[in-house]
Structure 1
Amino acid sequence: MGLAAAVEARLRGLEVVVLEPRAGPVDKACGEGLMPGALRLLQSWDVDPPGHVLAGISYRSPAGHVDHRFRVAPGRGVRRTTLHEALHARTVDLGAVVVPARASAVRLTPHGVEVDGRTARHLLVCDGLHSPTRRRLGLEPAVTPRSAGPEDDRRRYGLRRHYRVAPWTDLVEVHWAARAEVYVTPVGPGLVGVAVLGPRGTDLDATVAALPELAAHLDGAAPDGPVRGAGPLRARSTHRTTGAARLVGDASGYVDALTGEGLRVGFAQARAAVATLDDAAAYERAWRAATRDYRVLTSALVAWATSPLRPAVVPLARRAPALFGAVVERLAR
């Protein structure tokens, strides 16, 4: 999300330095589906990475499926490394300075911020789900001691691996297994990404094998790269601002990947953060507005998915396709 914020800041004429400790395109475990709203934001920055058209969403279970095709414009499946390369190239083209370094010492000052001896007027914190900078700035809720128990069982994790196989659909398929959801996203002519969301200990291969329809599609398909993992997915922040610092993207708080709109929400936050650099209260308001639907809908769906009512998710969506479509359209904006 740091590169997206850098592009937005440069387009507004600001001087930008990006600290990035990792060399080359950065990969991470994610579903890789750009919802129509996310793709529209990228294109407004003149960033248009190649991928595979996404025409809608399909919820699937052994009992049946329900599909909804986006009404206005499609989304796009884009491999994470491809997206990173496109954003990095645009960042450099716009004149931002990318420094191979990690922010390890952050100090707020009366006139801005100091990061490892570098001074700046503003700091956008985009260092991910388990942001160390969020913790250093005192924007992370206090951790209360707890023993392993039901609360630990509700924590969710993500896994992802690519397979070399021709996509069989232009929809993002969400397969509902007994305890996990499997997202299948076409990202190229001969490549699909398979992401699994579930509790600790979820195994990608075992989860796929338990879904006959998906297992048949992937039968004989060669893996393209390793299994990558992330989690626990839930992250909180007490505030999104302190002094000259602003939390953006996953660092600002995260509910779950279940609704597949993390990138759209993160891009909207990046735009809002740059627009409100001198007004912390305005950014807090903009952050709440940009994330409201995501937080409400995702929290509700995760609560349902982790309850005894989980088996009813797909049957209800099939019985109420108009409601399912309305939710998809709301998230696709």
Structure 2
Amino acid sequence: MIDVLVVGGGPAGLATAIHAALAGMEAVVVEPRPCPVDKACGEGLMPTGAAALADLGVAVPDGVPFRGIRYVDGRHRVQAEFRDGPGLGVRRTALHTALARRARDLGVRVVPGRVDVVRATGEGVRAHVTGGPDPCGPERAHLCDRNLCERDLCGSGLGARWLVAADGLHSPIRAQLGLDLPSGGPRRYGLRRHYRVAPWTDFVEVHWAPGGEAYVTPVGDDMVGVAVLSSERRPYDEHLARFPDLLARLDGPPVTPVRGAGPLRQRVRRRVAGRVLLVGDAAGYVDALTGEGISLALLSARALVGCLRAGRPEEYETAWRRLSRRSRLLTAALVRARRHPPAARMIVPAARRLPAVFGAAVRSLA
């Protein structure tokens, strides 16, 4: 029986599989899409996330360091530097490729397909897999050569001691297990595109305007990613028009299509349900505003595997809450302020008048 079956081969899922392999466990990932997978993402790793990536033994050659966070609203700006090293701006595709390479080198196997049904068994979990190639066809010959057919890697069902749902913001596994909770308040969405222009700063910039924010991350020597966040559903260019100062800097051509995600807020009853554990966006999400999604996913993956290795999976819930607490509280406070125009207009001016408070918040998140 497989030790850890990971549903979803994005950064959270691959990080979980890598940690499991490093802990001496057999890890298998089920993912329907070929690597690398792109998605709407701010693409900035906080310093803790960059350090967690290094702990995995993952090097991303195309990453761009950034030294802090800057808030801008047209008339005001304020910035704070990280205290314990830089963050890392990196294309989602480059990050995915690097994680996939590391997982492969550690012997993690990726099975193409989707998990549509999960059920408990006497000693673990069994997952029904659909949508992949013929499980005993030539595409799977490398598995059969290692006699893994006899160990539940062939056929439409995979058996494992533990199943980790890393299947994204709208996790089908989470929904199947009845772990979703209603999410109150306005729904917020994110859209992202890249521009061929040299970064003008080594800070991640968050631009504020009525109705939304623009999150700018340097991801290459000649490229920036620009994600817009808003509760209003409208085309990307209409959102971007609200930021004339930013728009003036984007004098290079867009080089990637617009990708979207949302609704962003996802409330979850709990992250442990029997032998199924949730990680990454599947574990719950507040908003992309503070840019911590990938960093939190990497840290949570390490905590999850640590709990499994210690034989105390139930402790993962507490570990996840501890790791995400500051991010959840600050992000929720900013999103609440965004709902009220007078309060929203004061966010950047207040941060500018209280630079020590702003700096403490940035360093706390970092």
Residue 95 of structure 2, aligned match among 44, 68, 83:
83
1:22 correspondence with 2:25: no
Partner of 2:351: 317
Residue 59 of structure 2, aligned match among 28, 32, 48:
48
Distance 2:235 2:358 in 1: 28
Are the aligned partners of 1:5 and 1:270 in contact in 2 as well (CA < 8 Å)? yes
Residue 304 of structure 1, aligned match among 310, 321, 337:
337
Q: How does 1:223-262 map to 2 (within 5 A)?
A: 223-262=254-293
> Residue type matched to 2:167 in 1?
D
Distance 1:64 1:86 in 2: 38
Size of the aligned set, in residue pairs, is: 323
Task: Give TM-score, length-normalised by structure 2.
Answer: 0.86
Partner of 1:134: 174
Specify the SS of the correspondent of 1:105.
strand
Are the aligned partners of 1:177 and 1:207 in contact in 2 as well (CA < 8 Å)? no
Distance 2:89 2:162 in 1: 33
RMSD, aligned CA:
1.3
Partner of 2:123: 111
Partner of 1:96: 108
Deviates more, 1:38-47 or 1:301-310: 301-310
> Residue type matched to 2:107 in 1?
G
Specify the SS of the correspondent of 1:317.
helix
Are the aligned partners of 1:25 and 1:84 in contact in 2 as well (CA < 8 Å)? yes
Are the aligned partners of 1:180 and 1:202 in contact in 2 as well (CA < 8 Å)? no
Are the aligned partners of 2:211 and 2:232 in contact in 1 as well (CA < 8 Å)? no
Q: Deviations over 1:165-217 (max 9, x none)?
A: 11111110100011100011010011110000001314321232222211110
Residue 235 of structure 2, aligned match among 203, 209, 229:
203
Which consecutive unaligned segments of at least 5 residues does structure 1 have? 145-150
Which consecutive unaligned segments of at least 5 residues does structure 2 have? 1-11, 129-156
Distance 1:53 1:235 in 2: 30
Partner of 1:148: none
Specify the SS of the correspondent of 1:276.
helix
Distance 1:280 1:137 in 2: 17
Are the aligned partners of 1:29 and 1:229 in contact in 2 as well (CA < 8 Å)? yes
Residue 325 of structure 2, aligned match among 292, 299, 313:
292
> Residue type matched to 1:170 in 2?
D
Distance 1:200 1:238 in 2: 27
Are the aligned partners of 1:112 and 1:243 in contact in 2 as well (CA < 8 Å)? no
Residue 8 of structure 1, aligned match among 10, 13, 19:
19
- Percentage identity across paired residues of the two chains: 54
1:203–1:315 Cα change, 3 Å = farther
